[in-house]
Amino acid sequence: MSNSTNTSMEVEVSSEQKQAETRRILLEGIIKFLQRGIAAAETHYVYRALRSAFALRKRLQPDVVAELVVAYSSSANSQSVQSCLKSVLEYLQQSPAENTAAGVCEPEVCLFLGLLAMLYLLDNTHLGRGVELSNVLISVISTAQRRTLDPISSRVFFYFSRFFEVADRLSDARPALLSALQAATLAGMKETKAMLLTLLLRNYLHYKLYDQAERLTAKSSFPADAPNNLLARYLYYLGYIEAIQLNYSQAQTHLLEATRKAPSNAATAGFQQTVHKIYVIVELLMGNIPERSLFRVPTLKKPLLPYLELAQAVRVGDLNKFQDVVSKYQDRFLKDSVLILIQRLRHNVIKAGIRSISTAYSRISLRDICLKLHLDSEEDAEYIVAKAIRDGVIDATIDHEKGFVQSADVHNVYETSDPQYAFDKRITFCLGMYNDSVKSMRYPGSDHRKELASAIEAIKRERELAQELENDDYDGDSDEDAMDEDL
């Protein structure tokens, strides 16, 4: 009996210690950095506070967040901030109170505390209360638009959309996101604008509204200095939209940039897998075969296994094998939302088979082509070969009377302009990377110029003083010479 009592007391003590540790870190660390960033109007302090808060997400407790809210609740706050703090306490199901000794709560601190409450409600699946609290926080954002508010407001909109997505009501969030995008564009809140663009594209793609997503990207500009995680997500959505609309070259470029912009760690493994699935299909649609090393990456090996079999079927031009792979992994392709793109690969499989046949045979009958490609009739084979010749897939001629295909001699690739195009593509990529690296560099502010000016003035004063001393020494020697002459 005594042992069980001691064990329960130890558990209670450890729980209290954990709450005290969380409270201390939040009070002394995160809020301190947040207030320092507000005072200095520097966003990197705000980013550090947000990173620390997300690291403590699993240890968030409603009473700890409520204690922080009460500490900043005061009658001196603005009406929107005070109503927001009361709403946070209400949705956390904590009793409202005011601290008479508290000073004025900044909107950044209010939104940060609301963001902590949103994380708690999302992790505990209180979706209804989370949506209502999100609307309250968005009203605070609309009344106070400042530079230091930008990183916090972007995350508020992210979790606002996340509540609707988990509740399977993503279309209901679209009007609020569109109006917020207009406000963020007018206010110059770049990170919030970038976040809202990615959320709207995700919203449109979820309901397969590809035309509306394309119009949004055409009529809006993505901020150039947005964080890399938002840029990578935006490039992925852009590449997916262009792949659906048959712009495969642009889709390949954007998907490749998305994989390079996203960090390569365990946290982003899911994003890398999703992007590479679309990238492999786009490569196949362009007539290229992805490198085998791509399918050997540890984080991509298992998820890309169906796509490896698909690439092998396209490479050899085996139509039966291609259809078997599609039927075998149809549920997987539907879940990945790529079945509509894979269905376009049938013609590519046939073209790959015709290319391999044209390389292996200098002359072959249409009947043999029909048997090798498993086509229905010789007329279908003749039509497909003629289209391949017109598209530049093979260099050959068709003898309609005798019913055979005559392949032309293989030309040296270095006599064509293909190497020039390849070098131009690589040089353009390197120049783009160089320009991006120059733009992303951080330069020191102008505070050091004051110190430099004061140092220059000090050097001038030292030189003037040294010159005066030299003049004094010269005058002293002349006085001594005059005294010697008198003697």
Q: What's 266's DSSP letter?
A: G
pLDDT score of 487: 34
Closest by Cα among 393, 311, 309 to 357: 393
Closest by Cα among 340, 308, 338 to 325: 308
Closest by Cα among 82, 81, 189, 98 to 143: 81
Q: Which of 340-344, 388-392, 418-422, 447-451 has the lowest mean pLDDT?
A: 447-451
Element (H, E) at 396: strand 396-399
Whether pLDDT at 483 is above 90: no
Q: What residues does 397 pair with on adjacent strands?
A: 406
Q: How confident is the model at residue 177 (pLDDT cuts 50, 70, 90)?
A: very high
User: Is the pLDDT higher at 304 or at 458?
Assistant: 304
If phi > 0 it is left, if psi is from -120 to 50 it is alpha, else beta; for residue 337 that is left
Instruction: Tell me which amino acid residue 68 is.
Output: L
pLDDT tens digit string along 301-327?
899 999 999 998 888 878 888 889 999
What is the crossing angle of helices 107-123 and 62-72, to 10°? 160
Alpha carbon distance 152, 43 (integer Å): 10
Q: How confident is the model at residue 376 (pLDDT cuts 50, 70, 90)?
A: confident
Alpha carbon distance 155, 137 (integer Å): 11
Whether pLDDT at 213 is above 70: yes
CA dihedral for 199, 204, 210, 212, sign (positive or negative)? negative
State mean pLDDT over 115-132: 85
User: Is the pLDDT higher at 324 or at 4?
Assistant: 324
Alpha carbon distance 130, 117 (integer Å): 8
User: Is the pLDDT higher at 58 or at 292?
Assistant: 292
Alpha helix segments (H runs only) across 167-304: 174-187, 190-206, 210-219, 228-244, 248-261, 269-285, 298-301
Whether pLDDT at 163 is above 70: yes
Element (H, E) at 379: helix 378-390
Alpha carbon distance 201, 234 (integer Å): 8
Q: Which of 117-121, 307-311, 353-357 has the lowest mean pLDDT?
A: 353-357
What 3-state class would DSSP assign to 472? helix
Full DSSP string of 117-175:
HHHHHHHTT-HHHHHHHHHHHHHHHHH---GGGHHHHHHHHHHHHHHHHHTT-GGGGHH
Whether pLDDT at 76 is above 60: no
Closest by Cα among 261, 316, 255, 263 to 281: 255
Alpha carbon distance 98, 153 (integer Å): 25
Q: Please give the model's pTM, rounded to 2 decimal places.
A: 0.75
Q: How confident is the model at residue 4 (pLDDT cuts 50, 70, 90)?
A: very low
Closest by Cα among 91, 49, 99, 97 to 72: 99
For the CA atoms of 29, 31, 33, 36, the dihedral, rounded to the nearest 10 degrees, stands at: -140
Is residue 395 within 8 Å of 341, Cβ to Cβ?
A: no
How remote is the C-alpha of 379 from its chain's centroid? 49
Q: How confident is the model at residue 8 (pLDDT cuts 50, 70, 90)?
A: very low
Q: What's 416's DSSP letter?
A: S
pLDDT score of 27: 60
pLDDT score of 407: 77
pLDDT tens digit string along 17-61?
666 566 666 666 777 777 777 777 777 778 887 887 777 777 777
State mean pLDDT over 85-111: 69
> In this structure, what token pair is assigned to residue 406?
């005559």
Alpha carbon distance 307, 276 (integer Å): 10
Whether pLDDT at 9 is above 60: no
> In this structure, what token pair is assigned to residue 64?
């700890």
Alpha carbon distance 102, 116 (integer Å): 20
pLDDT score of 199: 93
Q: What's 404's DSSP letter?
A: E
> In this structure, what token pair is assigned to residue 342?
């894979």
pLDDT score of 309: 92
Give whichever of 106-110, 224-228, 405-409 has the largest mean pLDDT: 224-228
pLDDT score of 468: 63
pLDDT score of 255: 93
Q: Which of 144-148, 203-207, 445-449 has the lowest mean pLDDT?
A: 445-449
Whether pLDDT at 349 is above 60: yes
Instruction: Tell me which amino acid residue 390 is.
Output: R
For the CA atoms of 323, 325, 329, 331, the dihedral, rounded to the nearest 10 degrees, stands at: -10
pLDDT score of 470: 58
pLDDT score of 278: 94
